Amino acid sequence: MRVTTLHGARDLRIEEHPLPIVSESTDAVVKVVAGGVCGSDLWWYRGLNPLPTRRLMGHEVVGVVETTGSAVTRVKPGDFVVVPFCHADGTCVACRGGVQSACLELGSTVGGQGEYVRVAHADACLFVADPPADDLLLRSLLTLTDVLATGWHAARCAGVAAGRSAVVVGDGAVGLCGVLAASILGADPVIALSGREPRQGLASAFGATQCVGSRGQDAVRTVRRLTEGVGAHAVLECVGTGDAMEAALQMARPGATVGFVGIPHGVELPITEMFRRNVGVRGGIAPVQRYLPHLAEMVLSGRIEPGRVLDREVTLDAVAEGYQAMDTRQAVKVLVRM
Ligand SMILES: [Zn+2]
């Protein structure tokens, strides 16, 4: 099968690899219909994560079940499925506690920007849906694998509540999904930090009541002005850099929580300042399976259209162009069509 492979910074190649196989009785192999390029893929692409050897890229997949192991009963070949990036067993103590992303038997999607993927714990992991009738629904289903659930996790961790203010740091696909989540959960105002179209337009469409285009301390001052002078009730940190976390903490009012879902790169917490202001942080890798049924229901009923964040589509052969478009912020998020 053909799959996107990263050999070093900005060195993407399409390579032939052996087809993934059912190696455990609880596995399935899924033929990829569409994969996503994630903001977290860009950390690798930009050479900001140590890359010991080549890496198979892609962990966001919707597709069709090709084969299943002997213990798989809930999904069958031919089913159209949403594949959460974390493959939880659904039974361990972490899963039972709702933290499927910290499953003790965790697997994950590898090589999703390719033709086939192996899925561990297929019965517990895969979400079966009717094949999408239109392209926007396909894209929205693809967001369920990661970015929508991650934005939702940021909102839940931040304690977003109806009638209370929320601010979202980051205007990538996760940040925009965070805006959507805060809006669905009834936050008011919902302040998006975004300076440019088409991201501002998407943020507004997803329920942002204000977009703040300034950066750094200017943005902190503006957000505080919009939130009774003290900062928001809930802050969603959807970037992962030290600067983003610093801004997020400064935009949190006393007693507030920063929900953080950006993969931390160079983040240090000012614990004394947090202690003094009673500001907390809570977050991590999104437990996709915990949120998936509820989020899928909103997608399938047409109540939300998170697929709008996927504003560029490429073929597998052109995947490098997709990465480049996201790297230069020409695209919010890229769909790779197999
Ligand atoms: Zn588990």
pLDDT at 52: 82
Q: Cα(274)–Cα(267) distance, rounded to whole angstroms?
A: 14
Inside any domain, residue 292: no
Tell me the CA–centroid distance for residue 213 and ligand 1, in Å. 41
pLDDT at 58: 97
Over residues 243-295, the pLDDT tens digits come to: 999 999 999 999 999 999 999 999 999 999 999 999 999 999 999 999 999 99
Judgement on whether residues 140 and 254 belong to the same structural domain of the protein: no
What mean pLDDT comes out for the span 329-334?
A: 96
* Phi and psi, residue 265, nearest 5°: -130, 100
Which of 250, 267, 283 is the last residue in one of the domains?
283
Judgement on whether residues 56 and 30 belong to the same structural domain of the protein: yes
Judgement on whether residues 210 and 80 belong to the same structural domain of the protein: no
Q: Cα(188)–Cα(166) distance, rounded to whole angstroms?
A: 7
316 band by pLDDT with thresholds 50, 70 and 90: very high
Q: How does strand 166-169 pair with strand 107-108?
A: unpaired
Inside any domain, residue 298: no
Tell me the CA–centroid distance for residue 144 and ligand 1, in Å. 19
Specify burial of residue 96 (Cβ count, 10 A radius: 0-12, 13-18, 19+): exposed
Inside any domain, residue 297: no
Name the amino acid, one letter, at 287. Answer: P
Inside any domain, residue 325: yes
Inside any domain, residue 295: no
Inside any domain, residue 116: yes
Judgement on whether residues 159 and 223 belong to the same structural domain of the protein: yes
Judgement on whether residues 16 and 122 belong to the same structural domain of the protein: yes
| Closest to 16 measured CA to CA, from 98, 114, 145 | 114
Judgement on whether residues 276 and 313 belong to the same structural domain of the protein: no
pLDDT at 217: 94
Tell me the CA–centroid distance for residue 88 and ligand 1, in Å. 5
Tell me the CA–centroid distance for residue 97 and ligand 1, in Å. 9
Judgement on whether residues 132 and 15 belong to the same structural domain of the protein: yes
Q: SS3 sequence, 275-337?
A: HHHCCEEEECCCCHHHHHHHHHHHHHCCCCCHHHHEEEEEEHHHHHHHHHHHHCCCCCEEEEE
Tell me the CA–centroid distance for residue 113 and ligand 1, in Å. 25
In the chain, the number of structural domains is: 2
Q: What is the dihedral of CA 140, 145, 151, 152, to 10 degrees?
A: 90
Name the amino acid, one letter, at 155. Answer: A
What mean pLDDT comes out for the span 193-220?
A: 95
71 band by pLDDT with thresholds 50, 70 and 90: very high
What mean pLDDT comes out for the span 76-82?
A: 98
Judgement on whether residues 254 and 139 belong to the same structural domain of the protein: no
Full residue range of the structural domain in which residue 276 is found: 148-283
Query: 61, 35 in Cβ contact below 8 A?
Result: yes
* Cα–Cα distances in angstroms (integers) from residue 325 to residues 55, 173, 183, 319, 322, in the given order: 20, 14, 28, 10, 5
Inside any domain, residue 293: no
Tell me the CA–centroid distance for residue 61 and ligand 1, in Å. 21
CATH code at position 249: 3.40.50.720
Q: SS3 sequence, 179-213?
A: HHHHHHCCCCCEEEECCCCCHHHHHHHCCCCEEEC
Judgement on whether residues 81 and 207 belong to the same structural domain of the protein: no
pLDDT at 300: 97
Those residues whose C-beta lies under 8 Å from the C-beta of residue 140, and which sit 6 or more positions away, are 148, 299, 304, 305, 306, 307
Over residues 9-42, the pLDDT tens digits come to: 999 999 999 999 999 999 999 999 999 999 999 9
Query: 290, 98 in Cβ contact below 8 A?
Result: yes
Judgement on whether residues 110 and 235 belong to the same structural domain of the protein: no
Angle at 198 between CA 197 and CA 202, to 5 degrees: 120
Place of tokens 């959807």: 238
Tell me the CA–centroid distance for residue 290 and ligand 1, in Å. 12
Q: Cα(131)–Cα(73) distance, rounded to whole angstroms?
A: 20
CATH code at position 116: 3.90.180.10
Judgement on whether residues 218 and 274 belong to the same structural domain of the protein: yes
Tell me the CA–centroid distance for residue 122 and ligand 1, in Å. 12
Over residues 143-198, the pLDDT tens digits come to: 999 999 999 999 999 999 999 999 999 999 999 999 999 999 999 999 999 988 99
What mean pLDDT comes out for the span 54-81?
A: 97
What does the radius of gyration of the chain's CA atoms come to, in whole angstroms? 19
What mean pLDDT comes out for the span 49-75?
A: 95
* Structure tokens belonging to residue 301: 């009923």
Tell me the CA–centroid distance for residue 312 and ligand 1, in Å. 34
The fraction of the chain above a pLDDT of 90, given in percent, is 97
Judgement on whether residues 41 and 129 belong to the same structural domain of the protein: yes
Inside any domain, residue 302: no
Residue 53 scores a pLDDT above 90: no
What mean pLDDT comes out for the span 295-304?
A: 97
